[in-house]
């Protein structure tokens, strides 16, 4: 049994399952996100919900499209990206703390290997 704010005993109930995020297996999306994360200004996680932003310059950030934010979260959960230090950033008129998203050396090496691969000839055909 757990206690509420006033010290009363309450039964524990499982947290309601949220809407599951849709995972991607599109390699071009994964490679795009990893390449952008490796740029001079990468990704940031900000706010209590850890929303994903793209860093624009030293102190500005902007929100991402849902597909890109989902891919960043998926790569963080898979261990391909890691969460780094805290920075004081601004998005519009709102200022706050955000954590940088880092690209480990093993992920950079893997991305370099993927870039060296060529698509099979059958992938070039549309239809």
What is this structure's pTM? 0.76
The pLDDT value recorded for residue 15 is 59
Token pair recorded at residue 124: 């070039």
* Alpha-carbon gap, residue 96 to 46, rounded angstroms: 8
Which residue from 107, 89, 118 is spatially nearest to 37, judged by alpha carbons? 107
Number of helices (H) and strands (E), helices first, in the chain? 3, 7
Token pair recorded at residue 112: 């370099």
Q: By residue range, what is the domain housing residue 47?
A: 25-114
Token pair recorded at residue 110: 């893997």
Mean pLDDT to the nearest integer, 91-99? 88
Mean pLDDT to the nearest integer, 74-88? 93
Asked if residue 77 is part of any domain, the answer here is yes
Asked if residue 13 is part of any domain, the answer here is no
The pLDDT value recorded for residue 84 is 93
Structural domains in the chain (count):
1
* Alpha-carbon gap, residue 53 to 18, rounded angstroms: 21
Asked if residue 3 is part of any domain, the answer here is no
Residue 90's beta-bridge partner residues? 60, 95
Place of tokens 């706050």: 96
């Amino acid at each position: 049994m757990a206690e509420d704010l006033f010290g009363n005993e309450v039964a524990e109930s499982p947290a309601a399952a949220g809407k599951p995020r849709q995972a991607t297996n599109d390699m071009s999306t994964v490679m795009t996100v990893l390449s952008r994360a490796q740029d001079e200004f990468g990704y940031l996680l900000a706010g209590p919900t850890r929303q994903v932003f793209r860093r624009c310059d030293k102190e500005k950030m902007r929100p991402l499209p849902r597909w890109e934010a989902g891919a960043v979260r998926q790569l963080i959960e898979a261990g391909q990206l890691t969460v780094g230090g805290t920075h004081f950033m601004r998005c519009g008129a709102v200022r706050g703390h955000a954590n940088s998203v880092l690209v480990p050396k093993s992920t950079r090496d893997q991305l370099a290997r993927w870039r060296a691969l060529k698509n099979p000839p059958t992938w070039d055909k549309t239809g």
